[in-house]
Amino acid sequence: MKIIVNGLDLSDAIAKVSKALPVRDVAPVLECIKITAENDTLTLYATDKDLAIEKTIEANVIVGGAFLVPGKIFGEYIRNIASEEDVSLETTDEGRLTIRSASSECNISTLDVDDYPEAEQISGEHYFAIQECSLREIINNVIFAVATDDSRPMLKGVFFEAKDYVLKAVATDGYRFASSKKALEERNDGISATVPSRSLNELSKLLSNSENIVKVHIENNYLSVAAENGKLSTRLLAGQYIKFDNIIPRDFVATLLVNKDSFERSLNIASIMSRGDKNNLVRFDIEEYSMTISSTSKQYGTARESVVISLTGKDISCAYNARYVNDCLKVISAETIKMEFAQHNSCVITINGSDEVLYFILPVKQIG
């Protein structure tokens, strides 16, 4: 095999597929990136059998073929020589890859491509169709709320359900709950899956902000997506996701409307004092026309901010983990948000006049 490819394009492609390389030491073949050259394209593919990522770039294919190259050493070398200049890749009969650039040359041992595991086969019958930008946004709207510990493995993923013309995504770590809805491009009879957060993080990076329609295939305990910038397939989390229909309170004692940007700015300033604390505690004192946000540090002192609001219902004093609230605000694109408070100070955050996102946060402690 012999090809010539742009160094920066190659480096970027390696960086993307390398996210699917195993974290721990495994069989040497799985530590490799599979490279296939044909029809003026170079396709890079990596998998740890749970996650697989493929990226195709343009190349001048002089002699086609395929080989396996150790992913980490190959990626590090290309990253260090990458520039706007072209890079030459050529394999020898002795099983070595020669890499040449204007001022560098390297030889790396390759492995037999026939030893590489086959990609999971998807029939294509079971899928939902959605715009790339919508899929990327719904992932980003909820993924921050997944659990990070291993005590409840199913909570380390995002639950997706496609039905009729709506895709719903849900995530929770037991302290907060996030859900989001997006429109589907085709009617769906009903399909659901829980997708690992690690895989969704990489999928979000592959997706563009375009309105191109992608089909998300779900079958045989796998999810597969072919987007404009690459392909990804992942093993799904096995098991039943928690029942969440009754998590959100229906009755509220107070509801407020607030400018999202003003609230986010005030929260960031007021929470400075508590950022080093375990609970990152901020207190909200809510009255008819204003919400005072404050945090206190025994070591440093107190910070306090006030923001204008419109309140319906009774005055409220409550406390939350500032990061939990701020994570919601970061992904909301709206001028005005609505905050609803239940009897025991749990809080529901939505966009005023929209059901596209919903966030539910438990209080850190009760305040009299």
Task: Tell me the torsion sign for CA atoms 216, 217, 223, 226.
Answer: negative
Strands, sheet with 41-47, edge to edge from the N-terminal-most edge strand: 65-70, 32-38, 41-47, 51-58, 230-235, 222-227, 213-219, 127-131
What stretch of H or E contains 79? Answer: helix 71-81
Measured in degrees and rounded to the nearest 5, phi and psi for residue 302 equal -130, 140
pLDDT at 78: 96
Q: Is residue 245 part of a domain?
A: no
pLDDT at 368: 42
169, 201, 235: which is the final residue of a domain? 235
Are residues 229 and 138 located together in one domain of the fold?
Answer: yes
Average pLDDT over every residue of 114-143: 92
Dump pLDDT digits (tens) for 271-307.
999 887 778 899 999 999 999 999 998 888 999 999 9
Strands, sheet with 2-6, edge to edge from the N-terminal-most edge strand: 60-63, 2-6, 86-91, 96-100, 105-109
Q: What is the mean pLDDT of the chain?
A: 94
Are residues 146 and 95 located together in one domain of the fold?
Answer: no
Are residues 195 and 286 located together in one domain of the fold?
Answer: no
Number of domains in the chain: 3
Span of 139-153, 210-224, 354-368 with lowest mean pLDDT:
354-368
Dump pLDDT digits (tens) for 311-354.
999 999 999 999 999 999 999 999 999 999 999 999 999 999 99
64, 87, 115: which is the final residue of a domain? 115
Are residues 24 and 88 located together in one domain of the fold?
Answer: yes
Are residues 132 and 219 located together in one domain of the fold?
Answer: yes
Collect contacts of 89-93 with beta carbons under 8 A, ≥24 apart.
89/1, 89/2, 89/3, 89/4, 89/5, 89/35, 89/37, 90/1, 90/2, 90/3, 91/1, 91/2, 91/65, 91/67
What CA–CA distance (Å, rounded) separates 271 from 41? 51
Residues facing 169 on adjacent strands = 160, 180
The CA radius of gyration of the chain, in Å to the nearest whole number, is 25
Are residues 110 and 134 located together in one domain of the fold?
Answer: no
Q: Is residue 230 part of a domain?
A: yes
Share of the chain above pLDDT 90, in %: 88
pLDDT at 96 over 50: yes
Q: Is residue 216 part of a domain?
A: yes
71, 86, 115: which is the final residue of a domain? 115
pLDDT at 311: 97
pLDDT at 366: 46
Residues 246-282, buried b or exposed e (16+ Cβ, 10 A)?
A: eeebeebebebebbbeebbebbeebbebbeebeebbb
Answering whether pTM is above 0.85, one says: yes
Are residues 226 and 303 located together in one domain of the fold?
Answer: no
Are residues 25 and 93 located together in one domain of the fold?
Answer: yes
Average pLDDT over every residue of 13-33: 93
Q: Is residue 248 part of a domain?
A: no
Residue with tokens 């080989």: 67
pLDDT at 259 over 50: yes
Average pLDDT over every residue of 47-64: 96
Are residues 327 and 231 located together in one domain of the fold?
Answer: no
What CA–CA distance (Å, rounded) separates 296 from 189? 52
Q: Is residue 247 part of a domain?
A: no
Share of the chain above pLDDT 70, in %: 99
Largest CA distance in the chain: 79
Are residues 216 and 305 located together in one domain of the fold?
Answer: no
Dump pLDDT digits (tens) for 182-235.
999 999 999 999 999 999 999 999 999 999 999 999 998 999 999 988 999 999
Q: Is residue 64 part of a domain?
A: yes
pLDDT at 334: 95
Q: Which domain covers residue 32, as residue numbers?
A: 2-115
Dump pLDDT digits (tens) for 76-87.
999 999 888 899
Question: What's the pLDDT band for 124 if we cut at 50, 70, 90?
Answer: confident
Dump pLDDT digits (tens) for 149-174.
888 999 999 999 999 999 999 999 99
Question: What's the pLDDT band for 120 if we cut at 50, 70, 90?
Answer: confident
| Number of DSSP helices (H) and strands (E) in the chain, helices first | 6, 23
Are residues 179 and 223 located together in one domain of the fold?
Answer: yes
Are residues 303 and 207 located together in one domain of the fold?
Answer: no
Measured in degrees and rounded to the nearest 5, phi and psi for residue 69 equal -130, 135
Which of 72-86, 119-133, 174-188 reaches the highest mean pLDDT? 174-188
Q: Is residue 368 part of a domain?
A: no
Q: Is residue 244 part of a domain?
A: no
CATH of the domain at 48: 3.10.150.10
